[in-house]
Structure 1
Amino acid sequence: MCNYFKNYSGGGSIGCNTLYHLTKLGMTNVILLEKHSLTAGTTWHTAGLLWRLRPSDTEIQLLAHGRNLIKGLEQETGVAPGWIENGGLFIASSKPRLDEYKRLKTIGHDFGVVSHVLTPEETKRLYPLMNVEDVYGTLYSPGDGTIDPAGYCQALTRAAKGKGAQVYESCSVTGIQTTESWAGGRKVSRVDTNLGSVKTECVINCSGAWAPKIGDLAGVAVPLTAMKHAYVLTERIEGIQNMPNVRDHDSSVYMKLQGDALALGGYEEHPVFLEQLGDDFAFSLYELDWDVFGCHIKGAINRVPVVEATGIKSTVCGPESFTPDHKPIMGEDPGLQGFYHGCAMNSAGMMLGGGCGWQLAEWVIKGRPSLDMFGYDIRRFHPNLIRNRKWVTERSHEAYAKNYSIVFPHDEPLAGRNANKGPLYETLLSQGCVYQDRQGFERPGWFLPGTMAPPLDYDYYGSYQIPKHANYVYKDLLGSDYTFDFPPHHKQNGEPVGHLYRGEFAFTLGKSIGYGYIRSLDNTPISTHDIKEGSYELEIMCDKVKAQVHTKSPFDPTNQRIQGHYRD
C-alpha cells in the first residue's frame, strides 16, 4: 500500500479528484503538493464542459460517476462546484454524422443516459438563434452541463482535508528518489521538495502539461505533447440565455453558454506546439493567434449567425496536454514501482476528472481499477514508442486535429507510420497488402491485388508549410473504409476462402459488439437459413462458449439489412 500521494502543479481537476477518492476509500495519510495554488496551470482557465455521451462504455461510466459526484458535492461539503445543467446539443450536417450520433444514443441508453434525436425543425424550436439550413439532424442530451473549476477543486479538497488529507501549496518538487525493489527493478522511496523531504512508496503524477518534468525527476518518460488550446468569450447576446451547449463537430467548433454570452472554441488542423513550459507559468496566458483560431469563428458564425455582429470580450489561450491517441495517461509505470500517472487529459480534465480520480484511487489502493481502463493505461504504449518523440508528436497532432472527426470502426492513423516493419513488409506490400498500425507496428490488414498502397511519412495534413501528399493511395483507400456499413472491399460475397465458405455475422459479448465468421462443418456453402437457425460455439482465448446469432438491430427492426458472405 502506498504511504503518500504526491502531486506537482497538480492541484487541478484530476489531482483534487484523486485526493478526494483516496480518502473516500480510507487512505488518510495522503499529501497533495502544489507548486503554486489550486487550479494553477490548466484547470483555472478550462471551459468546464461536461458531455454525457461518448463512443466508449468505459467513458460513459466515468462521466456518470463524475456528474453524480459534482451534483452531490455541495450537500457534502457546503461548497458549490458551480454545476449548471443546461443540456448539450450535437449538430450533424450529414447522414454519416447523424448515424454516429444514433450509435452514441444507443450506447448511452444502455447506461441510462437520456438523449433525443431531433429534426432540424425541432432543433430550431429548441435553439431559435441557430441556423439549421445545412443541418441534417441533431442529438440533444438534456443532462449535460458545465462546471466551475475553482469551486469544484475547493469542494474536493475541503472534503479530503476533513478526512485527514494534507494540501501544501507553494511547494515545489525538486527530486524523486528510488531504491531497488525485491524483484530487481526500481521503486519509489522519497520525494524531495523546497519545504523538505517525504518518505513514501507512492507518487501520483497529476501535473498535466508539466508531467514530463516530474517524470524526468524519476527517470520516467511521459508520452504527451503540450499545445496551445484556446477559446474566446463573446459580448452579451440577447436571447442566448438558457440555451444548451453546442458541439458542431463538422465545423470543429463548440459553443458553451456563459451566462448571457458564448464561449467559442474547437480543434484546428494546425495547433501551436509548445516546446518549453515555464515552471512559473501558473495563471498566465498566451497571446491568441487569430490565423490559427479564425476557423472556429467562421464555424460559429455559420451555426449562430448573430455571433458575426457580436464583439469579443476576452480571449483565453493556455497550455494543454495531448496524447498519441487522445486518451489520458494513467496507471502504474511499468519501469518504476509506486510511480503512478494521472495526467494528459486532452482538454477533458473537468468532465473526466471525477471518474478518472475514482479509478486511479482504486488502482493505488486495490491494485487495479474496477472498470476496463486499459485504454487509459500507460502500458498500452510500447516502451520504445513512449520515448520516440517523433512518433509521440505526430500521433498527438493527428489525434488533436481529428478530435471532432467521425469515429469509424476501421479508421487507421496516417501519423507515426512505419516505425516497425516486419521482414516480409515489402513482399506483402508488392502483393497488394494494405497495412494497419497497431502501436507502431505495421501489420497486414487486407489485400487488394494489383495495388501498391504504402503508408507515407506524415504530412501534417498540409500544415506548418509541409507539402500535402498528392495522389496518396493509402489515404484514398482509408476513405472507402469510412462507413458504418461493410466497406466495398470487404464484400466478396460467396467467394471461397481456402476450402471453406464463410458467413459474416454480428455478435455481442457482454456489452461489446464484434464481427466474426461462421464456418460450416462439412465445408458446404452457408445459407441464410443456416445463419438464422444454426447453433454456435465461440472460441475466445482458448475457451469455448455457446452462442446464439441475433439478426435484428435497433436500426433495422424488420431485418432488411442482413448481409454477409453466404449463398442461398
Structure 2
Amino acid sequence: MPNLPTQARVVIIGGGVVGCSVAYHLTKLGWTDVVLLERKQLTSGTTWHAAGLIGQLRATANMTKLARYSAELYTGLELETGVATGFRQVGSVSVALTEERLEELYRNAAMARAFGVPVEELSPKDVKDRYEHLNIDGVSGGVWLPTDGQADPANIALALAKGARQRGAVVQERVSVSNIARNGSRVTAIDWQSEDGTQGHITCEAVVNCAGMWGHQVGRMAGVNVPLHACEHFYIVSEPIPGLTQLPVLRVPDECAYYKEDAGKIMLGAFEPVSKPWGMNGIPKDFEFDQLPEDFDHFEPILEMAVNRMPMLAEAGIHTFFNGPESFTPDDAYHLGLAPGTDNVWVATGFNSIGIQSAGGAGHALSLWMDSGEKPFDLGDVDIARMQPFQGNKTYLFERSKETLGLLYADHFPYRQKATARGIRRTPFHEHLKAQGAVFGELAGWERANWFADDGQERDYRYSWKRQNWFENAAREHKAVRENVGMYDMSSFGKLRIEGADAEHFLNRLSGANMSVPTGKIVYTQMLNTGGGIEADITVTRLSETAYLVVTPAATQLADETRLRRHLGTDRVTITDMTAAEGVLAVMGPNARSLLQKVSPNDFSNRANPFGTAQDIELGMGLARAHRVSYVGELGWEIYVGTDMAAHAFETLWEAGQDLGLKLCGMHMMDSCRIEKAFRHFGHDITPEDNVIDAGLGFAVDLTKPDFIGKAAVAARKDTGPKTRMVQFLLNDPEPLLYHNEPLLRDGEIVGYLSSGAYGHHLGAAVGMGYVPCQGETAAQLLASSYEIDVMGTRVPAQASLKPLYDPKAERTRA
C-alpha cells in the first residue's frame, strides 16, 4: 500500500527520464514536498527502449546549451548517486550522400563553431578514417562531433530519481492519477489509485505533466492542450560481431538510418519518411515495457540500404527486431512550460525521440522557470504556448505524425513546409490569392501566401540551400513594393481587443511605450520581463477611450494573449481574440496612396492620416479601417476589414490596381524587405533574453511613465550602455545566402552568430542581423572593426551598420 502525503508543493505525473529530471532539479533548487507518481514502473513507457544517443548540437543556441548541460549532468550523476549512467563520449559522425546534404552538414558545422561545440568537417576519406566499417560509395563528406556520446537511458532515469529521493522527493511507482481537480485557472488537487486498489487525494500547488506519450491524455484531464501522437519506431540489434570495438555514433540521414555500437553489437535504427502512427484509440492501460508487433515489410527498405552501407551487417544475424512507440509533436519540438489558460499546470513532454539527450537540460530549464516564475532564457522553440488549440485535434495529430518522425532525418532545407495536415486555417482572401497563383506556406495552422507563381510556372517549392525556384518571383514582388505598389495578406497576424475602464492603465503596466495617446494613434511597443528582455513585439492601436487593438505575430498570438491574461490583476479589462473576425490587406509602396484614393473618398494625406495613425474609411461599397504603418519600410497602409466584406475589399483593390501595375506579394517578400530596413523579427532577433536597449529599441520605451514591468532593468541598462548591440550586415559578395545562426567574426574572431538572414533584393546581396558584444565601446569603435560571416566554412566580408542600410531616416514610410 502506497504511503503518500495528502499535500504537496508539486505533483509530477510520469516516471520516465523527463519526470525524474524535473524532480531531480526541483529538489536541487531546494523544493520540498515533491511527489512523483508513475503508473507502472520507472522508465517503463518509452525511456527503457530509447537508443540513448547524446548529441550536443541542436538547431538553436539555447537548445544546444540545454543538450550540452544534459551531457555534463550525466557525466557527474554516477559520482553523486552511485548509479552508473553508461555515458561514453564516443563522438559522432554524420555523413552526406548528396551535395545538398553536405551543405546542410557544413552549415551545421559552422553553427557548431558559433555555439562553441567542437566540430570538424570531413572528406569522404576522413569519414572512412573515422568509421572504417562504412562503405563510402556515394559519400560526399561528413561532420565529426567529438563530444557526442551514448548512454544507458534507463539508468540515467534511475540515477535522477535516486538523486531526487536523496533530497527528499517521494517517488512512487504503480500509482496512477485518476483525476485532476481544477478551480478556474488553477489545479488544486489530484486523485490517485494504486494497482492494489488503494485510493488517495493530494492537494497541491502545481502539477507537471511528464507523461510522455500519455501526455495528451493527461493534458485533457487537467483541461489543457498537449498536442502529440505516438508513432512506431523501429530498430534492430545484430548478433555479436567478433572483434567489434567501441565506435562513434553514425548517422546516415539520406538513408534514414543511425548506427550505434553497444557491447560488440550494432544497433540500426530508422526514421523513415512515412511513419506509422500508433495508439489512435489511446495507449493501453496495461502498457509496461511493451513492444509492438514486428513489421518487417515496413523496415525492409531501410535494412537493404544499411546492409550495403555497413557490409558487416550482411554477415551478422539479427538478434533483436524491436518496434516500440515514441511520441511526436506537430513541429518536432518538445513541449515545455506553463500551459496556456492555467496558473500552475506545467508541461515537459513530447520529446520526439531525443528525450535522453534533452531530459537533463529540459528538467533544469523548467525547474528554474517554476522557481522564479520567469523563463531563465529564451525557450520559444519549445514553449507549450506556441501550440494552437486546434492542434490537439486527434485527426490532425494522426495525419501530421505520419510526417514528423521522418522529418528528423529529412533534409532540413530553409523554408521547408510541412506536407501533411494542411489547409485547416484559411484567411478570407485564400481563394482569391489561390486563383492568382499563390503558393502557400503554413504557420500556426494558417495557410499564408509565401510567393506567387507566374502563369505556367509550377506552384510548388523546389527546395535547396541555394537559390530556390521562387527566388526571382520574390525579387519581382520586392521590386514592386520598393518602386510601385504591392498588396499582401496579413490576416493571420494575431488581433487582440483590450477593452474596459482600465485598458489604458493595464497596457501601460504591461508594455514599455506610453499608451496614453489619442484615439486613432498606433504605438509600436514591447512587453518586457523584469530583466528588460522582450516577451512580445506588438503594435497597439487606440480604437476608443476604453478599447485598444493589439496586433501580434501569428506564431505568438496565443503566447501573447496568455501573457496578457496572466497579468490582468485587478484591472477591469476584457481580452477578446479578434484574429478571425477581420481580414487584413497590406497595401505598400510609393503608389499605395494613389491606389487607396481610387477606391475610397477618405483623405490619406500626411495632414489627415500621418504615419502611425488609423482611420475608419469607406472602401468600395463597404467599410474598413486603415492603419498607416509598415513592416516593409515603405509608404503604406494595413487595411482591416470585417470578414463579411473581405472579398469585396480584395476585388475592389485588385481591380483598381490594374492600371497602376499592382502586384500581389507574399511573406518571403515581406521578410526580405523588413531585413533591409533592419526591422527586428521576434523569436530570432529579439527574445526574452535580449534587453530592449541592446536590441536597439530603446526609442519604443518611455521611462518617464509610471512603473511598468521591466522599467528598472531598462533604466539600468540605459545608464550603463548596451552590453551588446544589434548590428545589420550586408555581404560584399552577392552570391552567398544567409538564413540564421551563421558565425559572426569581428577582426577574425567569432563573437556571435546571425539571429536572422534573408536576401536583400534592393541592396543586392544577402543581409543578416546579429548581436555584437560591445560593453564599454562607442558605436564608432564597434563599426571600426572588420566583419565577416562564416557561410558553410567560407568567411565572407560584410559591411556592418547600426542604422538601417535601406532608408535610414525612414523618409519613405513617412512620404
TM range (shorter): 0.7 to 0.9
Contact preservation (8 Å) 1:421, 1:441: yes
| Displacement of 1:310 | 1.0
Does structure 1 residue 411 correspond to structure 2 residue 416? yes
SS in 1 for 2:790: coil
SS in 1 for 2:422: coil
Q: In structure 2, give the amino acid aligned to 1:311.
A: G
Does structure 1 residue 486 correspond to structure 2 residue 467? yes
Structural mapping, 1:84-483, within 5 Å: 84-180=88-184, 186-194=185-193, 195-274=199-278, 275=280, 276-383=282-389, 385-450=390-455, 473-474=458-459, 477-479=460-462, 482-483=463-464
Match of 2:794 in 1: 556
Distance 2:438 2:265 in 1: 52
SS in 2 for 1:167: strand
SS in 1 for 2:221: helix
Contact preservation (8 Å) 1:235, 1:312: yes
| Displacement of 1:386 | 2.6
Does structure 1 residue 67 correspond to structure 2 residue 47? no
What TM-score comes out, normalization by structure 1 length? 0.84
| Displacement of 1:450 | 1.7
Distance 1:290 1:527 in 2: 53
Match of 1:467 in 2: none
SS in 1 for 2:794: coil
CA-based RMSD:
3.0
What TM-score comes out, normalization by structure 2 length? 0.59
1:39-80 per-position Cα deviation (integer Å, ceiling 9, x unaligned): 111111111111112222222111100000001111222222
SS in 2 for 1:7: strand
Contact preservation (8 Å) 2:45, 2:289: yes
Q: Which moved more, 1:98-107 or 1:551-560?
A: 551-560
Q: In structure 2, give the amino acid aligned to 1:188.
A: V
Q: 1:499 to 1:246 in 2, by over 3 A?
A: closer
| Displacement of 1:527 | 7.6
| Displacement of 1:392 | 2.2
| Displacement of 1:312 | 0.7
1:440-478 per-position Cα deviation (integer Å, ceiling 9, x unaligned): 1111211223258xxxxxxxxxxxxxxxxxxxx44xx31
Contact preservation (8 Å) 1:188, 1:339: yes
Q: In structure 1, give the amino acid aligned to 2:359.
A: G
| Displacement of 1:517 | 7.3
Distance 1:491 1:68 in 2: 47
Match of 1:497 in 2: 480
Contact preservation (8 Å) 1:91, 1:247: yes
| Displacement of 1:4 | 2.9
Contact preservation (8 Å) 1:268, 1:295: no
Q: Aligned match of 1:6 in 2, 11, 24?
A: 11
Contact preservation (8 Å) 1:324, 1:393: no
Distance 2:31 2:453 in 1: 57
Q: Which moved more, 1:363-372 or 1:19-28?
A: 363-372
Structure 1 unaligned residues grouped into runs of 5+: 181-185, 453-472, 520-524, 537-544
Contact preservation (8 Å) 1:247, 1:255: yes
Q: Which moved more, 1:385-394 or 1:201-210?
A: 385-394
Contact preservation (8 Å) 1:228, 1:272: yes
Does structure 1 residue 17 correspond to structure 2 residue 21? yes
Q: In structure 2, give the amino acid aligned to 1:557.
A: R
SS in 2 for 1:279: coil
Q: Which moved more, 1:269-278 or 1:206-215?
A: 269-278
Q: In structure 2, give the amino acid aligned to 1:316.
A: F
* Larger Rg belongs to: 2
1:212-253 per-position Cα deviation (integer Å, ceiling 9, x unaligned): 222232233321111111211101123431111111000001
SS in 1 for 2:108: helix
Distance 2:326 2:364 in 1: 22
Contact preservation (8 Å) 2:228, 2:392: no
Contact preservation (8 Å) 2:246, 2:262: no
Contact preservation (8 Å) 2:788, 2:795: no
Contact preservation (8 Å) 2:307, 2:313: yes
Match of 1:541 in 2: none
Distance 1:499 1:35 in 2: 61
Q: In structure 2, give the amino acid aligned to 1:192.
A: D
Q: Aligned match of 1:30 in 21, 27, 34?
A: 34
Contact preservation (8 Å) 1:271, 1:292: no
Number of equivalent positions: 514
Q: 1:242 to 1:296 in 2, by over 3 A?
A: same
Distance 1:410 1:90 in 2: 23
Distance 1:210 1:50 in 2: 24
Q: 1:127 to 1:226 in 2, by over 3 A?
A: same
Distance 2:267 2:316 in 1: 12
Contact preservation (8 Å) 1:264, 1:296: no
1:370-398 per-position Cα deviation (integer Å, ceiling 9, x unaligned): 23211111211222x23322322222221
SS in 1 for 2:425: coil
Q: Which has the higher contact order (CA 8 A, sep 6+)?
A: 1
Contact preservation (8 Å) 1:323, 1:346: yes
Q: Going by fraction, where is strand more abundant, 1 or 2? A: 2
The percentage of aligned residue pairs carrying the same residue is 32
Distance 1:488 1:550 in 2: 30
1:401-459 per-position Cα deviation (integer Å, ceiling 9, x unaligned): 2221111111111212211111111112222221111111111211223258xxxxxxx
Distance 1:290 1:218 in 2: 39
| Displacement of 1:26 | 1.6
Distance 1:499 1:221 in 2: 43
